[in-house]
Amino acid sequence: MLVAAAVCPCPPLLVPEVAAGAAPELDAARAACSDALGVVAASRPDLLVVVGPAGQDGTGSHPQGAGGGFGGFGVDLEVRLGPAGDDGARERELPPSLAVAAWLLDRTDWAAAPVRGLGVGERLAGERCARAGRELASEAGRVALLVMGDGSACRTLKAPGYLDGRAVHFDAAAARALGAADTTALLALDEQSAYELKVAGRAPWQVLAGAAQGAGLGGALLYEEAPYGVGYFVAAWS
């Protein structure tokens, strides 16, 4: 059963070494992520599953101890998902969203429960996302999620996806749903609009919605901004 969740953005810029001179611009987001993870740790889960966007279709599992890094962004920094696993886990490369999650967990000295990762295709249908979430929630008596994902990348003229007038309204709906732990509203987010608006978080958020159905969790929105023209949200559910 799902007992808590933290929702965090997943840009590599969240890692100060990647952001370099621009690192202070996301200090508030980093602090909010730490607060959200504190809520998850306080729930004393038996299992923590990190969920993040990875590729276009399907899902992929990443065991505890799987490694990743930020060499593709010009930074020689390696991370590992939770404590070291077996030798096979070392060979599983984390997608960027889960590498950022691993960095967040390292920063909070996470050692409260076993950890594993789930990469979710950004075009995975909403019902499949919800089904994956329900399956996650049944894996242990007390399950917690760390859900990585960004809002629209079309909020300004200089945004990665340029300016799209629909972006602010899509992000506002997503922020309301995340802050209220509204699973119905999250599952209602339109898949095609999310794809067109370059919303990396839609599928992971809908996995969360599936996991939380019937759990009776409440939510709090801890951060909502659009630096660099991309919607970033942090929320805590418990």
Quote the pLDDT of residue 91. Answer: 56
Of 3.50.50.60, 3.60.150.10, 3.40.830.10, 3.20.20.70, the CATH number of 2-237 is 3.40.830.10
pLDDT of residue 108: 84
Exposed e or buried b per residue across 42-60, where buried means at least 16 C-beta atoms within 10 angstroms of its C-beta:
ebebebbbbbbbbeeeebe
Amino acid letter, 234:
V
**Predicted local distance difference test score (pLDDT) of residue 113:** 86
For residues 232 and 191, give the distance between their C-alpha atoms in angstroms, rounded to a whole number.
Answer: 18
- C-alpha to C-alpha distance for 27 and 15, rounded to whole angstroms: 10
Domain boundary assignment for the chain: 2-237
Per-residue pLDDT tens, the chain, 238 aa: give them. Answer: 999 999 999 999 999 999 998 889 999 999 999 999 999 999 999 999 999 999 888 889 999 999 999 999 999 999 999 887 655 555 568 999 999 999 999 988 666 789 999 999 999 999 999 999 999 999 999 999 999 999 999 999 999 999 999 999 999 999 999 999 999 999 999 999 999 999 999 999 999 999 999 999 999 999 999 999 999 999 999 9
Distance CA(19)–CA(185), nearest Å, equals 33
- Which residues on adjacent β-strands are paired with residue 236? 6, 220
